[in-house]
Structure formats: structure tokens, C-alpha cells
A and B are shown apart, each in its own frame.
Chain A
Amino acid sequence: MQHTESHDNALHSDSEVQLIERAKRDPAAFGILYERYVDRIYSYIYYRTGDAREAEDLTARVFHRALAYMPKFNQRGAPFIAWLYRIAHNLVANWRRDRGRHPESPLDTLVGIHTTDATPHAQAERAENERLLLDAMRQLPAERQQLLILKFVDGLSNLEIGHILGRSEGAVKSLYHRTLLALRDELEKRGVEQ
């Protein structure tokens, strides 16, 4: 038992690079990586699909696939989370292709929960606006959706986003501007007032 505790403590104090190397052969190390990143991957998939059940299913597939390919994983400067996002991106792309249509935005479990100071009518209106906004966001190219999710959900800076997307800080800054313009155009096309 004492051995297990010291093993766990050693794992928690490992740097990310050491932890990843250990995770290739040590299930406990992989468990720590899972705990570290599961919420972010779930959030990403949730906003890409707009469906909590699909987000659970795809999150499970991301981590099972990561586990299967872990022995072959090669660190090449990009953070481990970038690899997980890439797996998630591919699975979401397959999911969208299989469905052949866009989801019906069941984001109503989320929107409106942070509007307690407004009247019920104002809350409903705000929830509807957020639903339309997220629907429009899901029409953008995958990389632009990822940029918005990394910026606003994960709260990352342009530099950190650049590490994940494999772009420079300046390129992310420019992409953010173009993403806002594209989203504005998409909303206008749909007749949504912001």
C-alpha cells in the first residue's frame, strides 16, 4: 500500500513528458493523463456536436483510441493535448459525415443557466440567441470552431492556441479576426441580430 502511494506521488510530480513516457506502459500514468484532460476534450466535443450523449460517446472513443496508440505516440514539440484534440477532431468529422446533417442543437441544457437575474422572458430570449449563435458557429470550418472553443471555453491565449493548432501567435490573431467576420456573416445570412 505504501509502495502504491509513493508510486502515485511520483506520477503526480512527473513532468508531462515523463508522464507520457510512463503512460506508454503504466496504466496508472495513463489514468492521470485522462483525469487531466477529460473535461477539456468533453467540452470541445460537446460544443462541436451540440449533444451531451454524443459528446460522451465520442469522448470515450478519443481516450480508447489514445490508449491504443499510446505506445507509438511521439512527442514532436506539440503538447499532448494537441494530439488528443486531433483525435477528437477526426472522430467529430467522421460523426458529422455519418450523420449527413447537422444536429438539432440540444444545447438547451446549457444555455440560459447563467441568466438568473433576468425575467423568464428575457432568459428565454437570451437562451434562444445563444442557441442560434452556437448553431452558426458550428457552420464554420473545424479549425475556426476549435479556435473559439480554446479561447473562450479553455481560456487560452493566442500563444497557447498556436501551440495546439500548430500556428504562430500572429497567425492565430489573424485567424480570430477572420473567424469573427465569418461568424458575423453567417449570422447575417440567417437573419440573426446580435
Chain B
Amino acid sequence: MNDQTLEDILTAHADALRHGHVAEGQPYLAAFLGQRSELDTLMTLAENLARALVPVKPAKNFRDGLAANLQLAAHHQAAQLALNPNRVALRYPLWLGAAALGASVAAGGIIAWVARRNSRLSHSHAGSV
């Protein structure tokens, strides 16, 4: 059995588990007696995962409290945006400007260092001659 077939079987098995149609992997195994051990292990693992991974819900007081906090924050944010609608739009060009300025300063520094180094080298060369 190639990997493709194995993947198809495992997917079909997992889909059946998701829909609660298959409690055990036995019906699938009957058709693949040669690879029973490999499939059996992986299907048992999937069945254990399906039993262990059940949906959980947050506590109601946490859920409601967070909803209220978010509403407050959302109103605050909406008010700020209404007062200064360009704030968000302005931020990106500001970052770009700062990055360009930083890059220019760094490039200027490198050029100055190279020029100074060249001048020093030519002085020492002249001195030795």
C-alpha cells in the first residue's frame, strides 16, 4: 500500500470520526490485512485523539467580561479614529521616512569612513616614500 492510499484511508477514517459514524477502525482494516498493524496503530491513535480533543468553552463570566471590555475599547478606538482619521494613514509614510533617513545616515557614515581611510593610506604611503 503506498502513502497516497494510506493517507486516503486515514482521511476517510478521520472524517467518519468527526461525524461520529465510526467508533473503531475495524471496518477499514478488514480490506488491508497486509498493513493491518501500521493502520491499526494510526487509527487507534486518531480515535484516542477524537476522544481527548473535545470542544471546550470559556467560563460565561470571562466571556461576558471580555465582550464588555472589547466594546469599551472599540468605542474608544472608533472615537479616536473619528477625531484623527489620518492617524492610521500617516503612520506608514512616517515609518518609511524614518527608515530612509536612517539608511542615508548609515550610507553617509560608510562613505566618510572609506574616504578617511583612503586619505590616511595615501598619507602613510607618501611618508614612506
By a beta-carbon cutoff of 8 Å, the part of chain A in contact with chain B is: 25-27, 30-31, 34-35, 38-39, 42-43, 46-47, 55-56, 59-60, 63-64, 67-68, 71-72, 110-111, 114, 129-130, 133-134, 137, 148-149, 151-155, 157-158, 173-174, 176-177, 180-181, 183-184, 187, 194
Contacts and interface: CB of A to CB of B under 8 A. Distances in A.
Contacts of A149: 53
B88 A31 contact: no
B84 interface: no
Interface in B28-48: 41-42, 44-46, 48
30 contacts: A27-B70, A30-B70, A31-B74, A34-B70, A35-B67, A38-B66, A39-B57, A43-B57, A56-B59, A63-B66, A67-B74, A67-B77, A71-B81, A114-B54, A130-B48, A133-B49, A133-B52, A134-B52, A149-B53, A152-B18, A153-B55, A154-B55, A173-B7, A173-B8, A176-B10, A176-B11, A180-B42, A194-B41, A194-B45, A194-B48
B129 to A, nearest CB: 60
Interface of B: 3, 6-8, 10-11, 14-15, 17-18, 41-42, 44-46, 48-59, 62-63, 66-67, 69-71, 73-75, 77-78, 81, 88
Given A173-B8, A180-B46, A42 B78 contact: no
Chain B interface mostly helix, strand, loop or mixed?
helix
A56 B62 contact: yes
Contacts of B42: 177, 180-181, 184
A174 B17 CA distance: 18
Nearest to B72: A27
